[in-house]
Amino acid sequence: GNSVTQMEGPVTLSEEAFLTINCTYTATGYPSLFWYVQYPGEGLQLLLKATKADDKGSNKGFEATYRKETTSFHLEKGSVQVSDSAVYFCALASGGYNKLIFGAGTRLAVHP
């Protein structure tokens, strides 16, 4: 069945460091891929998405490229801020009803 695997956390970085959170997926067909973020005390928010191979999603300085050959959708940011501290979830949607399948989440802590 469809599944998402993302790197375990927590990831701890200093401000202005480079961030990579790995995400790989298993799916039949051609899924859409998403990164959601959950800030402390808040609900899940869509960060970025890509709907077909080689698409790059981007938002708030974060980027992720849909790599079909490696079944990956790694999240990157060139310079993290303390305000980026949150839990990041990789997810895929496949099939006609837009059902989301999430990874386990990666907690990011950014220190000044």
Chain contacts with another protein (rule: CB under 8 A): 4, 32, 36, 42-46, 49, 51, 89, 91, 93, 96-105
Residue written as tokens 């927590």?
A: 10
CB of 49 to another protein, least distance (A): 7
Helix (H), strand (E) counts: the chain: 0, 12
CB of 97 to another protein, least distance (A): 5
Residue written as tokens 């386990």?
A: 104
CB of 112 to another protein, least distance (A): 27
Whose Cβ is closer to another protein: residue 3's or residue 81's?
3
If you compute the radius of gyration of the chain from its CA atoms, what whole number of angstroms results? 13
Tokens (6 digits) for 40: 């402390």
CB of 94 to another protein, least distance (A): 10
The answer to whether 66 touches 50, Cβ cutoff 8 Å, is yes
Find the distance separating the first CA and the last CA of the chain, reported in whole Å: 41
Whose Cβ is closer to another protein: residue 96's or residue 112's?
96
Whose Cβ is closer to another protein: residue 8's or residue 16's?
8
